[in-house]
């Protein structure tokens, strides 16, 4: 879509407001709105000013002026606003130099694709994330100097089997038994259908929706793979639409990786494939139908996985999901079909076009622009340096003898460990000026100060259960 076509769409749909959106550094969508009369073709070239010092992880107050530059190809009609509103995703620029801002996550993603093309390895990277989430009926939480708690409620939650609901109709999903039950046990069918249809109405390509493994409304709606930047854009739309549909039903959605103790967490298994022209370069005659190039790509992912996780699993809560012995893929190995390995090669179709690598560690709390870019840069490094991934691990990892299991590398056990890994291993991210040293340093500092240290300094409610009477 061109700027002129966006303006024509505004007239056709009687748009009254234009919402300009961009991603902050940690990973939340930000926005401001202008009257449609203030949108003309010049805005797409000149941009609009805003205060960059008020955005987390961005400018100092003495360098606060920044520009948002709307991208016309991202335009869509927001179905949730009372006033007819068109939304667009923006790039961020310095108003003096007009250079794209290095800490704009979307800029990092765009640079990663440009770098891929410059290597000659491929010209397209397709990403297909499978984001899981919970639909809750109520959430309350607080943390202050004298108290700290959270309280989750869901009509589906197993813990509500004995609650007086006048009437309680039963059909509470047992822990770890939420995968694919039909209604009435699956009480989220209608709301997921509405989410799915709204996504489609907004231009997203939906493949399927279903209940996930956990009790209490865990769900998944899958989008068809897209080019890297487009997929990151769509994932932000996806989150916004799903949360907004839930809010209309007086429910709440969270993409937090591990909100419920003792049940499955929410992951975001991410599929990646590289294409050169019309050729899928991961297809071949090797293990699981992979090319040598794909095996080297896996080698890059496994080598750099601890550093990748600093972006793909960027919260302290992420590592409540990535725990050995449970459902999450903490073993840095690869396998066809084996879901306990960090890298899996799906075997659903023999077509070369479907050949891809599934990296199973990420979760949906991530900033997709940064997570996808880090994954792509690891793939490129593996291919360029012909990193051997070793032998595939096709055994049931959880049945391995202790000494054999101990030889399988593991993911970091906490966000601090992932940040340490990123600090030690980030040269592969700096190539092509994709991630700048400033971006890496700012990310590590922000996460350590605002999340790792912030959590470390506060008493945990369970510590009172363990130690109050000591």
Catalytic positions are 51, 130, 132, 212, 220, 269, 339, 358, 360
Q: Is 265 helix (H, G, I), strand (E, B) or coil?
A: coil
DSSP string, 221-237: EEEPPEEHHHHHHHHHH
Burial class (CB in 10 A: 0-12, 13-18, 19+), 305: buried
Please state, in angstroms and as integers, the Cα–Cα distance from residue 72 to each residue in 12, 44, 49, 171, 368, following that order: 16, 8, 18, 47, 20
Of the candidates 244, 199, 251, 190, the one whose C-alpha atom is nearest the C-alpha of residue 224 is 199
Which residues, in sequence order, are bridge partners of residue 29?
Answer: 23
How many Cβ atoms sit within 10 Å of the Cβ of residue 43?
20
Cα-only R_g, the chain: 23
The secondary structure element, H or E, covering residue 21 is: strand 17-23
Residues for the chain: how many in total?
470
Of the candidates 211, 208, 153, the one whose C-alpha atom is nearest the C-alpha of residue 178 is 211
| Strand 218-223 with 85-93, pairing | unpaired
CA distance 32 to 48: 11
CA distance 380 to 369: 16
Of the candidates 383, 375, 426, the one whose C-alpha atom is nearest the C-alpha of residue 297 is 383
Contact 253, 246 (CB under 8 A): yes
Place of tokens 């994330």: 129
- H helices of 335-470, in order, are 368-384, 402-406, 415-424, 427-430, 437-447, 453-456, 461-467
CA distance 218 to 81: 27
CA distance 304 to 299: 9
CA distance 428 to 300: 10
């Amino acid at each position: 879509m061109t700027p002129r076509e966006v303006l024509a769409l505004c007239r056709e749909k009687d748009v009254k407001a234009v919402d300009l959106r961009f991603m902050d550094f940690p990973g939340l969508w930000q926005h401001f709105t202008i009257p449609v009369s203030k949108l003309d073709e010049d805005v797409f070239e000149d941009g609009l000013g805003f205060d960059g010092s008020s955005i987390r992880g961005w400018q100092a107050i003495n360098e606060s002026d920044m520009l948002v530059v709307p991208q016309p190809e991202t335009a869509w009609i927001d179905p949730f606003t009372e006033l007819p509103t068109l939304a667009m995703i923006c790039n961020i620029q310095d108003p003096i130099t007009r250079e794209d801002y290095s800490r704009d996550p979307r800029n990092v993603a765009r640079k990663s694709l440009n770098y891929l093309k410059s290597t000659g390895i491929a010209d397209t990277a397709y990403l297909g994330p499978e984001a899981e989430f919970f639909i809750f009926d109520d959430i309350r939480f607080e943390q202050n100097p004298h108290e700290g708690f959270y309280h989750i409620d869901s009509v589906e939650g197993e813990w509500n089997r004995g609650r007086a609901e006048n009437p309680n109709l039963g059909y509470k999903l047992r822990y770890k038994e939420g995968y694919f039950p039909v209604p009435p046990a699956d009480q989220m069918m209608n709301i997921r259908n509405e989410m799915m249809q709204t996504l489609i109405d907004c231009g997203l390509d939906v493949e399927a929706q279903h209940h996930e493994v956990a009790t209490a409304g865990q769900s998944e709606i899958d989008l068809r793979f897209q080019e890297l930047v487009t997929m990151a854009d769509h994932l932000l739309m996806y989150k916004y639409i799903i949360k907004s549909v839930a809010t209309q039903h007086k429910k709440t959605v969270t993409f937090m990786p591990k909100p419920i103790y003792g049940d499955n967490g929410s992951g975001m298994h991410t599929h990646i494939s590289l294409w050169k022209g019309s050729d899928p370069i991961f297809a071949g005659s090797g293990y699981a139908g992979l090319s040598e190039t794909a095996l080297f790509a896996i080698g890059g992912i496994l080598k750099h996985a601890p550093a990748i996780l600093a972006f793909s699993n960027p919260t302290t809560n992420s590592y409540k999901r990535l725990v050995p012995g449970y459902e999450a893929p903490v073993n840095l190995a690869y396998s066809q079909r084996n879901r306990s390995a960090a890298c899996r090669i799906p075997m659903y179709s023999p077509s070369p076009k479907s050949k891809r690598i599934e990296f199973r560690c990420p979760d949906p709390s991530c900033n997709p622009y940064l997570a996808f870019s880090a994954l792509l840069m690891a793939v490129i490094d593996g291919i360029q340096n012909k990193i051997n991934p070793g032998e595939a691990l096709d055994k049931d990892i959880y049945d391995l003898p202790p000494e054999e299991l101990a030889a399988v590398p593991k993911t970091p056990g906490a966000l601090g460990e992932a940040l340490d890994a990123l600090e030690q291993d980030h040269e592969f991210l700096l190539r092509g000026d994709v991630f700048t040293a400033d971006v890496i340093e700012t990310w590590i500092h922000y996460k350590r100060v605002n999340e790792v240290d912030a959590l470390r300094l506060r008493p945990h409610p369970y510590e009172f259960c363990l130690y109050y009477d000591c």
